Structure 1
Amino acid sequence: MLLLIALAHAHMYLSPQATGFRSYALDGSPLDLVVTGVQITLVDGRAMPMFAALFGYGFVQIAARQGNDARRVLRRRSAWLLAFGCAHALLLFFGDILAAYGLLGLVLAGAVRWKDRSLLVFAALWLAVHGAAATLAGLRIAEFGGASGMASATDPVTAMIDRITLWGVLTPFLIIDLAVPFLLGVWAAKRKMLIEPHEHQKALRAIAFIGVGTAVVGGIPLALVDTGLWNGSPEVALHVLHGLSGVAGGLGYAALMGLLAVHLTPGPVITALAACGQRSMTCYLLQSVVFVAVFVPYAGGLGDRLGTAAASGVALLTWLATVVSAEVLRRNNKRGPAETLLRKLAYR
């Protein structure tokens, strides 16, 4: 999940002259365009729904531990996530996702007590709202362009103002996009589909196959348009198709991880990946620290020199570094600093 997020975010720190619907450069090298096509198909709009589904799954687990105080704890935790996200956007990255999950938790904390029918019906109906929001976003991008070049400000104060302004506009749209996978994550958690994956292999196979397959089929048309291989029309409709299919893709990826958990034997690599997952907020924030240090003009300044492929290479190396850091913390029996702070604030 964190690798996909790093790949999805790194290119947003670049400053290309012209971009497509997913803010990738249209004038990159052949390798850049190949990476663009692969990431639009398999990464963009697929990582965040996966994260949202796991966030909803975790809500149920937290609620089970807290008992009668569950809703209050969940809302307090979500409020602090919102605060963390605001600070993240102000200091590092306009595309922060912590605040969106925090708002989602504040609004839907009671969903952990909903009946299965209510969860599924509401999720199905909300897809229409998601589609409408994606249409509005697509129309805006078609007229004004994407959110590329937001790291091009040459001084920190201007960059801070630009980031927080765009973050304030983007976050409500993110909440709309993430509600469905969040609710389906709650539904899956009630069945312990990832905690006891060996008991749900048939269902997980179906979700993985249909979800990832839908994401690929729904992502290829926009990938062809944003790489210049096809003059697809109407582009806004392809943007909506990409967004809706990403929900299925995120759920499919989560199910795929559940299937892998059945068959993989814990070893040094799996243990390190688990350590990273247990410190996911710290590792996520570290990604932004590295990207600012490498790309923005008032730091490393490589945002206007590197292409998409190179940015993705930086993302991969950054993710690997966070995995190693998390494993070092695990071996020293320490939580991530962000998780420690959130726990103190949320649980008092």
Structure 2
Amino acid sequence: MLLVIAVVHAHLFRVTTGAGGLTLDGTLDIAATAAVALFAENRGYPMFAALFGYGLAQIFRRRTEEGRDWPWTRRLVRRRGRWLIVIGVAHTALLFYGDIIAVYGLIAVCFAAALRFTDRRLLTHAFVWMAVGSLAYSAVENLVFGAAQESAGGQNPGPLLDAVFRLMTLPVMWPMMIAISVFPFLIGVWAERRRLLEEPERHRAFLVRVAAGGIGLAVLGGIPQALVNTEVWSVGPVAGAALFWVHVLTGYAGGFGYAAAIALVALRLGRRRGAVVSALAATGQRSMTAYLLQSVVWAALIPPYALNIAPHLSDAQAVGLGAAVWLGTVVVCDILRRTGFRQGPAEWFLRRMTYGRPARTPRT
């Protein structure tokens, strides 16, 4: 998930800050741009949102099993959501305009009641959001992205003004991202009720179908957008929005397919934990810290008042940079694991703000 996010962000920086937008300089650039459209763009965030829904449903189930009533658990979920909003706004102000943490905080605050929906009601809400939310997002996204690309060239606002601009994008970004995130969030809640990721051995056949069908559908649905992005196919604004809608819809299937594929890999590995698997698991346990670390790197590399390297990258180099940044966060998270830190700083802060200071046990 974090690898996909890093690659997409790096490629997006290249497109929005490069002179004239996309300028493909060879076969490798064309292949990189096509691969991003087929396997990464609009394929990572559905997995992210589904896992967030899965996690909140786990909190609800565990607190219920402890004997907590619904009002207590709802307050807990919403308190967690409010602190996610605080972290996300700070993330936007200090580092990065494409924050997703606050969006999930808003979903936790506004959709906590969905944790108690019946399956039928849950899936009905989910598919309504899939149809309406993705359509609205696709209609608006091309306008917003086009305006951002046109206004990016030649500007050097400075760090303070840049922070103000980033905060000004929130009233636009939040509704757009909520519109496309509620559907996978609700599907994640549904999946947790069946323990799909916790008990993959019981659901192996289903997970195989989701992985093969979801990733296959995402690749198939990404072909038109890949042709547009590589400038093989030129379309008008209406057709472009329609193709992008198809890209978003099939991206949901790809995100779910990735989650299912990872569950199958975990099932195959069993309890084997080599250095690579341990490092990846450490990153997953510190995913918010790793996500924020990516933004720290972007803040140093991308803005015009910093190193400003994005306009000088080819598309293939941007993809490689994204992978390298992700790999660096994996190394940092593994170092935290090896040195005995059970959580990253972001996870520690969120847990402390959500649950408060842990009670001290008396010494015997």
Aligned counterparts of 2:151 and 2:279: Cα–Cα separation in 1: 33
Taking the TM superposition and a 5 Å limit, the aligned residue runs for 1:1-348 are: 1-14=1-14, 15-19=17-21, 25-67=22-64, 68=69, 69-138=72-141, 140-141=143-144, 144=147, 146=149, 149=152, 153-232=156-235, 234-264=239-269, 265-334=272-341, 335-348=343-356
The verdict on how the C-alpha distance between 1:297 and 1:141 changes in structure 2, with shifts beyond 3 A counting, is closer
Aligned counterparts of 1:70 and 1:150: Cα–Cα separation in 2: 48
Aligned counterparts of 2:139 and 2:306: Cα–Cα separation in 1: 35
Please give the per-residue CA displacement for 1:22-66, whole angstroms capped at 9, x wherever unaligned.
Answer: xxx244544223211100111010100000000000011111232
Aligned counterparts of 1:347 and 1:225: Cα–Cα separation in 2: 48
Alpha-carbon contact 1:56-1:183 (below 8 Å) kept: yes
Alpha-carbon contact 1:53-1:183 (below 8 Å) kept: yes
Aligned counterparts of 2:5 and 2:320: Cα–Cα separation in 1: 13
For the aligned residue pairs, the C-alpha RMSD in angstroms reads 2.0
- For these two proteins, the number of residue pairs brought into alignment is 343
Aligned counterparts of 2:109 and 2:319: Cα–Cα separation in 1: 33
3-state DSSP of counterpart to 2:18: coil
Aligned counterparts of 1:18 and 1:86: Cα–Cα separation in 2: 31
Q: Match of 1:60, as an amino acid?
A: A
Please give the per-residue CA displacement for 1:271-308, whole angstroms capped at 9, x wherever unaligned.
Answer: 11010000001000000111111222222121221122
The verdict on how the C-alpha distance between 1:37 and 1:283 changes in structure 2, with shifts beyond 3 A counting, is same
Q: Match of 1:306, as an amino acid?
A: L
How much has 1:145 moved relative to structure 2?
A: 6.0
Alpha-carbon contact 2:218-2:251 (below 8 Å) kept: yes
Q: Match of 1:18, as an amino acid?
A: G
More displaced, 274-283 or 222-231?
A: 222-231
Aligned counterparts of 1:152 and 1:291: Cα–Cα separation in 2: 17
How much has 1:143 moved relative to structure 2?
A: 6.3
Greater Cα radius of gyration, structure 1 or 2: 2
How much has 1:151 moved relative to structure 2?
A: 10
Percent sequence identity is: 43
Q: Match of 1:99, as an amino acid?
A: A
Alpha-carbon contact 2:19-2:311 (below 8 Å) kept: no
Partner of 1:22: none
Please give the per-residue CA displacement for 1:211-241, whole angstroms capped at 9, x wherever unaligned.
Answer: 1111111111011011111224611110111
Q: TM-score, normalised by structure 1?
A: 0.93
How much has 1:137 moved relative to structure 2?
A: 1.6
Please give the per-residue CA displacement for 1:56-108, whole angstroms capped at 9, x wherever unaligned.
Answer: 00011111232322211111111111111111111111111111111111111
How much has 1:136 moved relative to structure 2?
A: 2.1
The verdict on how the C-alpha distance between 1:28 and 1:171 changes in structure 2, with shifts beyond 3 A counting, is farther
The verdict on how the C-alpha distance between 1:209 and 1:199 changes in structure 2, with shifts beyond 3 A counting, is same
Aligned counterparts of 1:47 and 1:132: Cα–Cα separation in 2: 18
More displaced, 50-59 or 30-39?
A: 30-39
In structure 1, stretches of 5+ residues that fail to align are 20-24
Aligned counterparts of 1:147 and 1:80: Cα–Cα separation in 2: 34
3-state DSSP of counterpart to 2:312: coil
Alpha-carbon contact 1:151-1:303 (below 8 Å) kept: no
Q: TM-score, normalised by structure 2?
A: 0.89
More displaced, 92-101 or 294-303?
A: 294-303
How much has 1:158 moved relative to structure 2?
A: 2.1
Aligned counterparts of 1:324 and 1:229: Cα–Cα separation in 2: 38
The verdict on how the C-alpha distance between 1:112 and 1:272 changes in structure 2, with shifts beyond 3 A counting, is same
In structure 2, stretches of 5+ residues that fail to align are 357-364
Aligned counterparts of 2:117 and 2:50: Cα–Cα separation in 1: 16
Aligned counterparts of 1:143 and 1:272: Cα–Cα separation in 2: 38
